[in-house]
Chains A and B, each alone.
Chain A
């Protein structure tokens, strides 16, 4: 009797207990919260679906009528029948390559220094806070910076308003994001791994190179891919540093000439220049270009997710 169910639960008999635990009050609050959360998720998804359906609907004349032609035509904001995106796609890819080459190594190196070498110093803490602030600086401000530094000041090297200046501007723009995500990935590597390596006599650099970086690589990769997709979607800073709107002729320039002084455009910039035009034709062109950019960004994000799952580690 001493071990029976406490009487405050009112289950003195076995039958009473059964009834209590199988037929008790429903957790009403919990159910309400669950439904509310589901509803917000539904709204979010609905907005996304509406956006895509709307884009598809508006872009249909282009997708159905002259999609191949649209992909292979250049930037031309004066004639919707001639307008296309191939220069914009090429521009975006070139910009992406510059961002990968410039900001990834630089950002990862910064993160390694901050996390592995300088983590204890007050200066590092100050820098870390400021890097976070930099990530929140509006992109147009980076455009001004790019205009001042890469176009005007270093114009002799970048060639002025070229894709190189644009790429460098975007690199600076995503650099804080790369540093932050790489820092977080490095911090997620357990200390036991570092101790294990140092315990057999590895130097700090040997530890970082052989164990910490490989272990953090999936996280770093994911973060950098997301930074890349942000760079791919930026229009404002590129408009400032020379992204071409309206009409872009490349004529007979070689690839190198195009890069160094042929003028450049990118997907967001092209969308901007088509969206400024009036008429249903341009609406269709704008929507089609937006869809292509959307696909591009989804592909990059998908790649990031795939890479993370592929290399994810369990400690």
Chain B
């Protein structure tokens, strides 16, 4: 009897959390873009990795970045949560506006940005700790201390990442024991657990088999209702399947220095990009004649 009541209470809390998210999302929605870049260029030392990128990312849509290797799509993605800060020589020109605030302004705290803009990496990177601790880490940073509250967040995050049923009996087991696909869903759950505004995914399926990939893609469609998602992918079919908008990047060779710089070729609705692209290079790429 007691247990039933406890469960009901937990459900309520989950619902409350959900409502909170919904209201916040509605507030931040409308047609104001979540991100807008203006003439964004990223340098590694003297080398300009990518130049003059202008994109806008709408709330609760999935935006895909596609293009051949080395075209700078991951580099651009990593500007959205200031992850490039971790690379000593990286430098940014132009602006990346997040709800109207330039992320590269001096006053902006990268840590606060990363609490709102989560990231899922190419290779699943669970912490070498228990499944529970992987999920509880973020909320604990945000000051959630009570075990009951953490339990609720862990459960709801795992459920939203479609992983709960597989791991509910071994939350204390090491996350390193999960399969690759499960680890990646765990990383997505870890991201969700801090209730971010945006989730960045850097080739999240490139280390996974087709079945695990399909599960992640389904999951993306599920969580799209709550989060804005930007995904970098090598897989054009994946971009066509999951995304609402697509940005196509390619590389240009500088004839003087013989160095390759990434450029944004075209940015539009996914349907248009794959059926009727404006740029011939996009067409060549999406039809498989190049790249």
Contacts and interface: CB of A to CB of B under 8 A. Distances in A.
Interface of A: 119-120, 190-203, 206, 210-211, 215, 313-315
25 contacts: A119-B88, A190-B125, A191-B86, A195-B83, A195-B86, A195-B119, A196-B121, A196-B190, A197-B137, A198-B83, A198-B114, A199-B83, A199-B119, A199-B120, A199-B191, A200-B114, A200-B138, A200-B191, A201-B138, A201-B141, A202-B137, A202-B138, A206-B141, A215-B128, A314-B176
Interface of B: 81, 83, 86, 88-89, 111-112, 114-116, 118-121, 123, 125-128, 137-138, 141-142, 176, 187, 190-191, 193-194
B115 A201 contact: yes
Contacts of A215: 128
Nearest to B122: A192
B88 A313 contact: no
**Prevailing SS type, chain A contact patch:** helix
Contacts of B114: 198-201
B81 A196 contact: no
Given A193-B125, A195-B83, A200 B190 contact: yes
A313 B89 CA distance: 30
Contact of B127 (A119, A196, A203): A196
Contacts of B112: 201
B141 A313 contact: no
A246 B142 CA distance: 63
Given A199-B118, A200-B138, A200-B193, 20 more contacts: A190-B125, A193-B128, A195-B83, A195-B119, A195-B121, A196-B127, A196-B187, A197-B137, A200-B141, A200-B191, A200-B194, A201-B111, A201-B114, A201-B115, A201-B141, A201-B142, A202-B141, A203-B111, A206-B141, A315-B128
A187 to B, nearest CB: 14
A10 B195 CA distance: 68
A196 B86 contact: no
A315 B126 CA distance: 10
Nearest to A314: B176
Contacts of B111: 198, 201-203
Nearest to B193: A200
Contacts of B125: 190, 192-193, 195-196
Contacts of A313: 128
A314 B123 CA distance: 15
Contacts of A203: 111
Contacts of A198: 83, 86, 111, 114
A206 B190 CA distance: 16
Contacts of B123: 192
Contacts of B137: 197, 200, 202, 210
A119 B89 CA distance: 11
B162 to A, nearest CB: 19
A197 B120 CA distance: 11
A314 B83 CA distance: 25
Nearest to A206: B141
A266 to B, nearest CB: 39
Contacts of B141: 200-202, 206
Contacts of A190: 125
Contacts of B83: 195, 198-199
Counting chain A CB atoms within 10 Å of each CB, which of B126, B137, B176 scores highest?
B137
A215 B129 CA distance: 10
Report which residue of A119, A120, A190, A197 has the largest number of chain B beta carbons within 10 angstroms of its beta carbon: A197
A146 to B, nearest CB: 38
B208 to A, nearest CB: 16
A196 B190 CA distance: 9
A206 B127 CA distance: 14
A196 B118 contact: no
Nearest to A192: B125
A85 B104 CA distance: 66
Contact of B88 (A120, A202, A211): A120
Contacts of B86: 191, 194-195, 198
B4 to A, nearest CB: 33
Query: 8 shortest A-B CB distances, which residue pairs?
Result: A201-B115, A120-B88, A200-B138, A192-B125, A199-B119, A196-B125, A201-B114, A203-B111
A314 B114 CA distance: 27
B10 to A, nearest CB: 23
Contacts of B126: 196
A218 to B, nearest CB: 11
A315 B141 CA distance: 24
Contact of A200 (B88, B89, B118, B128): B118
A202 to B, nearest CB: 6
B228 to A, nearest CB: 16
B138 to A, nearest CB: 4
A120 B125 CA distance: 24
Contacts of A210: 137
B171 to A, nearest CB: 18
A192 B137 CA distance: 16
